[in-house]
A and B are shown apart, each in its own frame.
Chain A
Amino acid sequence: MTRIPVMPDEWVDRCRVVRFRFEGHAFEGLAGDSIASALWAAGQRTQGRSFKYHRVRGILSAANHDVNVMLQDGPRLNTRGDVVALREGMDLTAVNTFGGLAQDRARVLGLFARFLPVGFYYKAFHSKRLFPKWERLFRRITGLGVLDFDTPHIRTPKCYDFCDVLVIGAGPSGLAAALSAAGAGASVVVVDENARAGGSGLFQLGGDEARRLQTRTLLDKVRTHPRIRLLEATCAAACYADHWLPLIDAERMTKMRAQAVVVAGGAFEQPAVFRNNDLPGVMLGSAMQRLIYRYAVRPANRAVVLTANADGYRVALDLIAAGAVVAAVVDMRAVVPSSAQLDELSRKGVELLAGHAVYEAHAGLDGELAGATLCRIDAAGAVVPGSLRRVDCDGLAMSTGWAPSANLLYQAGTKMRFDDLLQQFVPSRLPEGVFACGRVNGVYQLDARMADGRRAGAAAAAHAGCGTAVDITVDAESESPSLAWPVVAHPDGKNFVDFDEDLQVKDFENAVQEGYDNIELLKRFSTVGMGPSQGKHSNMTALRILARLTGKSPQQVGTTTARPFFHPVPLSHLAGRGFSPQRHSPLHGRHAALGAVFMQAGAWERPEYYAVAGRSRIDCIRAEAGRVRSAVGLIDVGTLGKLEVRGPQAAEFLNRVYAGRYDTMPVGATRYALMCDESGVMVDEGVVARVADDVFYFTTTTSGAATVYRELSRLNVEWKLDCGLVNLTGAYAAMNLAGPASRAVLAQLTDQDLSSQAFPYLGVRTGTVAGIAARLMRVGFVGEWGYEIHVPAEYAPTLWDALMTAGEASGIAPFGVEAQRLLRLEKGHLIVSQDTDGLSNPFEVGMDWAVRLDKPFFTGKRSLQIIRKMPLKRRLVGFHLPENHTGQVPLECHLIIADGDIAGRVTSIAWSPNVGRHIGLAFVLPSMAEPGTQISIRVTDGAMVQAEVCTTPFFDPDDLRQKESS
């Protein structure tokens, strides 16, 4: 528990002392330390409290595979102490304590353990009545960290990258794979989640300097290779389709597209399961080695090594090299294969016990490890009675087995099989372009891992089109790296399988007894593997326990689904700027200067109304509409979709896509256009203008513009008519000059004869307005004499200014979308998608006139022929409220109720100053469509409002305002 002399590849910088606070006390560490290593070096072994029983916890994996040490670092929640680098001035507190780490009041929960059985949450949440109570309690006692709502907003740009071969893991096999792939000519990127590359090759040494040098040599070659980029402290968090992987570093996410992927992620060492295996001081063998070689920290002064593989003997030798006393090496196997390490330990006089296990660990007064009771076990793993014996120790290394870091392989779609000799899942069928090597592939010997890496690297490069795959023989393992049953029973329990969730062996027994005997059910019931470390240290043991309890093989039990992400990814890395386009009309600046309040219309921002100081929104809207009726108004309608179709078969094309008829329409005329889909439902509307014999200019709705253009393009490809389609939506601007004075205003700016004879209603003319080439259409959407003027977008502000100036004497004013909606409602004009829905056909909205069933073909015709034969299910009608109506006013989508049933709904409603009452459109049953029918509308609070069906238009029913006064 102190710093040891300089290690050759240590991460710490001895010249730079880092000061920090932990739980209110001042500490010192070194630059390069993790928080946990600095605390351990300072003798602070208790570093966290467990999630459920609030037991003291220390280092377990030192590799981000557990969350024993979870800390709050200012606004940063759930900082993982075992891997996060120490920073000067950090002020850290353990999460999940009541009154601090040392005196956590919730530690009494451990005494009530038997009242918190497995499936407790499952059962507690079952009752709806008690749910809120339990929820409040759980949120208080199991919270992880405190959210700071003032956390600054961090912008995290995304990065995009490409390579031939992406190697995940920079241990011996990954480094060998990278060199082999790069040697074949591939561009290679190697990522490793650790702060420094080298992996186990630089810390699992068994005191053998040659092993370190082998890895060091590979690493030096990788660093200097011109075709290899080595990204340290970067985690490949997922593996998506076509080799698309998010690479997460401290700053950002990089979206990597690789031609081939080599997974060399190694293996997670797995805890042995015995009573009190969670005391601070009990840790994985590899954790001790990381402390020694990365941070130059002696993990313990007097240690017991519990093992069942060759790795444990190297742990013992590494401990001795770090100056610790190894009290005993306890091997759970009955027969231990001979090895140089065994001989060496024997020479050093270390007590070597075969067929033994740790029965339980003991805590001292400080709650940390002070000793262990050893026992003999039989071939089935059962404790031999009378064989217990206590050993004093302050460190206990667990080195009894591994689980492959196969998460990304599973995500990529790899089929895995359980290898009985290795006691591990290994890939049996890899997806195309995905390769595995090293321990994740079941290869453990150092030389064999490097050979396996060379093989996988060459194969990956070949897949990416560089070189050819080579046949490299990889030696089979001579002994199993994992023990089939690393579990020691104890009547008093507290033998933990999942450290995140405080799950003990008996929890699994109870779960299986309750019938949760399938791995997916067991997981959900017991919550094993559902904690922050997602089962990295617990899933394999849980699977072994389930297999034993159900008499199945691990292969039959199978694994749970591995999903992204491999490690938690900060939300700030995922959040980013939206890429949804927002469009501004070329007149946006004019609108803003006029005080426009903008609203979203499809991708566009459009003026909802123009605000006037001291006047309410609705008053502004009514004033704008009133100006159009009394004088003249100007509205920007440039957001409409504007398309042009040219060619000998342009008319035929329009005949096919719209319900109306356009081949018979003369040049200079416009016609309403209604678009249906194949089922006869109205999907869009607009106006078609015949500009020349073979040139049609037509509009679509604002929100439908992109979809309509795309679909018409497709139809043009499919039909191969002799015509071409151009999208002029952005290229053209359009404004509607409407009102009794509109003709007088326009006349000042154009030579075009504006008389009704020369330019009748629904005509289109090409001319100049204010010197700008323009297309002019006589329209009547708002029910006034009016002109829609289309000009190239860049001239829009000039035209706007010219019209506003010319209209000054007439009292011109701009009007927004809301005023336009009111004006068109007064005329009873529907808006597709406002007054129609995804089921509306033209007949039920009274648009029979727009449908020409006598045409040979148009989209939707066959369906409309069928619909025509059937009785209507509903009708769109006009309605008004009584003139003296007071009280609540219905809103859009309020339901019409008849005899207690839904009989329709309101689609539009507004108070009309010109009609002097509320008017609206509504879908009603056909039986209610007759003018004069009384309808009941249910408003928000459930009250009924009476209304009367009436004819439309509500205002100027004979369209006199659009005609030349006689």
Chain B
Amino acid sequence: MKLMTCPINGTRPISEFAYWGEIRPVPDADTCSDAQWADYVFNRNGAPGVKKEWWCHTPSNTWFIAERDTEKDKVLRTWLHGDDK
């Protein structure tokens, strides 16, 4: 079983974590076309690579962001939302 590091609780087995999805730019709802919005809602890029994703450490309900290389199957780093800015 893989390990993941929660920014609050440290390194824990992956079974304690829930995956939400990739963080993707949201088109401006007021200006985008219906087609652009539908593309955002329904299409995902499955190509392997480095992705930023929402993850949750479920026992503590801690949401954070993980940067993951889905090609090498490696978690590169994790941080709390806002800490990288």
Contact = CB atoms under 8 A, between A and B. Distances in A.
Nearest to B37: A862
Nearest to A718: B81
B42 A679 contact: yes
A679 B41 contact: yes
B34 A866 contact: yes
Interface string A228-253: 00000000000011101000000000
Contacts of B20: 714
Interface string B43-72: 000000000001010100101000000000
Contacts of B82: 720
A861 B32 CA distance: 13
A351 to B, nearest CB: 57
A863 B29 CA distance: 9
Contact of B63 (A717, A857, A861, A862): A717
A373 interface: no
Interface residues of A, number: 19
A710 B56 contact: yes
B37 to A, nearest CB: 5
A242 B2 CA distance: 5
A713 interface: yes
A678 interface: yes
B55 to A, nearest CB: 10
B81 A717 contact: yes
B56 A714 contact: yes
Contacts of B1: 240-242, 244, 255
A241 B54 CA distance: 21
A714 B41 contact: no
A718 B41 CA distance: 18
A863 B37 contact: yes
A213 B57 CA distance: 52
Contacts of A866: 34, 37-38
B29 A862 contact: yes
B29 A861 contact: yes
A266 B42 CA distance: 52
B57 to A, nearest CB: 11
Nearest to B18: A710
Nearest to A714: B63
Contacts of A678: 41
Interface string A404-432: 00000000000000000000000000000
B85 to A, nearest CB: 11
B76 interface: no
Nearest to A861: B29
Interface residues of B, number: 19
Nearest to B40: A678
Given A240-B1, A242-B3, A244-B1, A713 B73 contact: no
A749 B54 CA distance: 48
A255 B15 CA distance: 14
A577 to B, nearest CB: 15
Contact of B2 (A241, A710, A863): A241
A241 B38 CA distance: 37
A862 B41 CA distance: 10
A857 B81 contact: no
A777 B58 CA distance: 31
A241 B37 CA distance: 38
Nearest to B15: A579
A857 B2 contact: no
B10 to A, nearest CB: 14
A812 B43 CA distance: 54
A241 B73 contact: yes
Nearest to A862: B29
Interface string A837-857: 000000000000000000001
A857 B28 CA distance: 11
Interface in B1-36: 1-3, 18, 20, 29, 34
A717 B81 CA distance: 7
Contacts of B34: 866
B71 to A, nearest CB: 13
A240 B73 CA distance: 13
B9 to A, nearest CB: 15
Contacts of B73: 241
Contacts of A863: 37-38, 41
A679 B44 CA distance: 14
Interface in A677-730: 678-679, 709-710, 713-714, 717-718, 720
A463 to B, nearest CB: 15
B3 A710 contact: no
B62 to A, nearest CB: 9
A308 B1 CA distance: 42
Interface in A654-698: 678-679
A857 B29 contact: yes
A714 B17 CA distance: 13
Contacts of B37: 862-863, 866
B84 to A, nearest CB: 13
A114 B61 CA distance: 65
B29 A713 contact: no
A710 B61 CA distance: 7
Contact of B54 (A679, A714, A857): A714
A862 B34 CA distance: 9
Contacts of A713: 56, 61, 63
A523 B58 CA distance: 43
Interface string A859-896: 00111001000000000000000000000000000000
Contacts of A710: 18, 56, 58, 61
A720 to B, nearest CB: 7
Most-contacted residue by chain A among B2, B56, B63, B82 (CB, 10 A) = B63
Nearest to A727: B61
A240 B42 CA distance: 33
B44 to A, nearest CB: 12
Contacts of A240: 1
Nearest to A710: B56
Contacts of B2: 241-242, 244
A259 to B, nearest CB: 11
A720 B20 CA distance: 18
A240 B13 CA distance: 12
B14 to A, nearest CB: 8
A576 B58 CA distance: 22
Interface in A132-150: none
Interface in A70-128: none
Nearest to A720: B82
A857 B29 CA distance: 9
Contacts of B18: 710
A242 B61 CA distance: 24
A244 B11 CA distance: 14
A659 to B, nearest CB: 15
Nearest to B34: A866
A242 B73 CA distance: 11
24 contacts: A241-B1, A241-B2, A241-B73, A242-B1, A242-B3, A244-B1, A244-B2, A255-B1, A678-B41, A679-B41, A710-B56, A710-B58, A710-B61, A713-B61, A714-B56, A717-B63, A718-B63, A718-B81, A720-B82, A857-B29, A861-B29, A863-B37, A866-B34, A866-B37
Given A244-B1, A244-B2, A710-B61, 9 more contacts: A241-B1, A678-B41, A679-B42, A710-B18, A714-B56, A714-B63, A720-B82, A857-B29, A862-B29
Interface of B: 1-3, 18, 20, 29, 34, 37-38, 41-42, 54, 56, 58, 61, 63, 73, 81-82
Interface of A: 240-242, 244, 255, 678-679, 709-710, 713-714, 717-718, 720, 857, 861-863, 866
- Give me the 9 closest cross-chain CB pairs, A-B, nearest first: A862-B29, A241-B2, A242-B3, A717-B63, A714-B63, A244-B1, A866-B34, A679-B41, A242-B2
